[in-house]
Every structure is written in structure tokens, then in C-alpha cells.
Amino acid sequence: MNESLQTQYGSAYGTGLAADRQRVLRNTYWLLALSMVPTVLGAWVGVSTGIMAKMGFGMSTILFFAGAFGLMFLVEKTKNSSIGVYALLGFTFFMGLMLSRLLAQILGFRNGSSLIMTAFGGTAAIFFAMASLATVIKRDLSGMGKFLFVGAIILLVVGLVNIFLQSSALMLTMLALSMAVFSAFMLYDIKRVIDGGETNYISATLAIYLDVYNVFQSLLSLLGIFGGERD
């Protein structure tokens, strides 16, 4: 009798746990979709006003690091309340604004609009591929986190160094590696939610949004370099 009760309790607990994970994943996907709205709005404001170009590369770089890390800290501090959602949406607006410099450069090409749509479609395809893969992989991917974090730090440091070196070959290598690293990060972050390693949908959305953002930015840059058509 006791064994039967334990089995029933264990089954109910397992079902409840799976339902909780699905709820977090569902909320994450909804918030991720919503976060694209302020991103597009921020990008539109940036392109329309040209504010990032007027600011200059040095000042905009400082603003990017200060604003991005400051807002990410705010999101994490408020993630357990509704304020966290607004903080995240504010962060995505800021990231859209920061993306406007690249978008303006791409729109300077004759085929700029099609390049942006291609990058958007490619990023969406990568996202759906990683999300699908995360649902079928049974292996624990938690060990990937350390290696991917180190890879992201290396990319950041090399990117800062290349501001002074201005090496085209290094930039192309970084863009290709960035796509690979953040596509893998996408798989890792989605799998964490599915496995219950991340139980806060605001934190989960922030992580996956950054993955998507970096993949899109890298892909768009590569498309602009190899496929941009001048008038």
C-alpha cells in the first residue's frame, strides 16, 4: 500500500514538474516574441534619427557596454517581479537602438532590405533548429556552459583588440565564430529551460534573446560583406 502511494505521489510530482517546465518554456517563448517589438522600435528610432552615427564609434561603444550591462543587471535584480518584464523590454529597445548603426550601413546597399530579411529568416531558421534539437536531445548539456562562456569572453576581448588592429581577416573569423558560439548557446539555454536548470522565464528570455541578437548581428554583417551591392 505504501509503495503504491509512493508511486502515485512520484508520478504526480513528475507530472507537476514537467508542467512547470513547459509553463516556463511557453512564457519564455511568448516574452521572446514580445521583446522583438521594442527591438524593432529601437532600431527604427536609431535609423530614422541617425543618433548612433552622430555619436561616433568611440562614444557609442562606451554607451553600449555601460547601457547593456547596466540594463542586464537591472533585469536580473527585478526578475522575480513584473518590473522585470518592463526592464527586459527596455533592454531590448536599447539593443535595437544599438543595432541601428549596422542596419543603416546595410540599408546603404542597393539590396539592403533583402539582406536584412535574409538575415532575419536565417536567424529564425537557426532558432527553430536549435529549439527542435533541444527537445529531442536527451543528453545533459550543462557541461557546455563553461566552454561557451569562455568562447564568448574570447570573442569579446578579440573584438575589442580588433578595434585598434582593424584586421578584416580577424573580423570575418570573429563573425563566423560568433555565429557558431551563439547558435550553440541558443541550444544550451533552451535545453536548460526544458531540463529545469532555469526556472525564471525572464532570465531565460534574456539569455535566449542575447543568443538570437548575436546570431542575427553576425549573420547580417557577413551578408553585408559578401553580398552587399553598391549603387
For residue 198, with 0-12 CB atoms within 10 Å meaning exposed, 13-18 middle and 19 or more buried, which class applies?
A: buried
Which regions in the chain score pLDDT beneath 50?
1, 5, 8-10, 12-13
Domain boundaries along the sequence of the chain: 2-227
Q: What is the pLDDT of residue 5?
A: 47
Note the pTM of the prediction, 2 decimals: 0.90
Which three cell numbers mark 40?
524593432
Q: What is the pLDDT of residue 14?
A: 53
Mean pLDDT across the chain: 90
Task: Round to whole Å and give the CA distance between 10 and 169.
Answer: 56
Instruction: For cell 578595434, name the residue.
Output: 163
Q: What is the pLDDT of residue 59?
A: 85
Which three cell numbers mark 209?
534573446
Which three cell numbers mark 21?
517546465
Q: What is the pLDDT of residue 58?
A: 78
Task: Round to whole Å and give the CA distance between 109 and 114.
Answer: 10
Task: Round to whole Å and give the CA distance between 127 and 199.
Answer: 20
Q: What is the pLDDT of residue 11?
A: 52
String of DSSP letters for 87-121: HHHHHHHHHHHHHHHHHHHHHTSTTHHHHHHHHHH
Selection from 12, 35, 32 nearest residue 93 by Cα: 35
Selection from 224, 204, 201 nearest residue 212 by Cα: 204
Query: C-alpha distances in angstroms, 86 versus 17, 27, 34, 98, 187?
Result: 28, 15, 11, 18, 26
**Residue 120: CA count within 13 A, CB half-sphere:** 10
